[in-house]
Amino acid sequence: DVELVESGGGVVQPGGSLRLSCAASGFNFDDYTMYWVRQPPGKGLEWVSLITWDGNTIDYADFVKGRVTISRDNSKNSLSLQMSGLRIEDSATFYCAKGGSYGSGYHMAVWGRGTTVTVSS
């Protein structure tokens, strides 16, 4: 079965940094675009970043651009999100998601359970 397990969340002060990780299993990781999506408490889904299978295409939402870096290690079936300059409004559950098959457009076929980031002084 496809499984995505996020880790690395926690409590951090404003201006601090965190590195989120996502361990993938049950599928050919290097065939798929991967995503990070966040959800602030009680609010809707917000796309954060994506990285294509080969890492050649990387995109970020405007609200994180310049503050986060997405990366992947296909040899280890892992996805990461390095976040710095964290703000209170970045507090959210962060989900790792697997993309769909080639030609089916950008969408999140399978989601992890999420990891919680709390930015607070």
Q: How far is CA 19 from CA 6, 10, 50, 84, in A?
A: 11, 10, 16, 9
- Distance, in Å, from the CA atom of 60 to the CA atom of 35, rounded to the nearest integer, reads 10
The two three-digit tokens of residue 111, written as one number: 């989601």
Ranges of beta strands (E only) in 43-101 are 46-51, 58-60, 68-73, 78-83, 92-99
Q: Which of 12, 34, 86, 108 touches another protein (CB under 8 A)? A: 108
The C-alpha atoms of residue 108 and residue 99 are separated, in whole angstroms, by: 5
Q: Is 114 in the site for another protein (CB under 8 A)?
A: yes
User: Quick count: other Cβ atoms within 10 Å of Cβ 54?
Assistant: 10
Find the binding residues for another protein in span 61-100 (CB under 8 A).
Answer: 61, 95, 100
What Rg value do the Cα atoms of the chain yield, rounded? 14
Smallest distance, Å, CB 75 to another protein?
Answer: 26
Among 9, 27, 40, 47, binds another protein (CB under 8 A): 47
Which lies closer to another protein via its Cβ, residue 16 or residue 91?
91
Q: Does 112 bind another protein (CB under 8 A)?
A: yes
- Which residue of 8, 45, 55, 116 would you call a contact of another protein, by CB under 8 A? 45
Q: Using the rule CB under 8 A, which residue among 19, 76, 87, 107 binds another protein?
A: 107
Q: Which residues bind another protein (CB under 8 A)?
A: 35, 37, 44-47, 50, 59, 61, 95, 100, 104-114
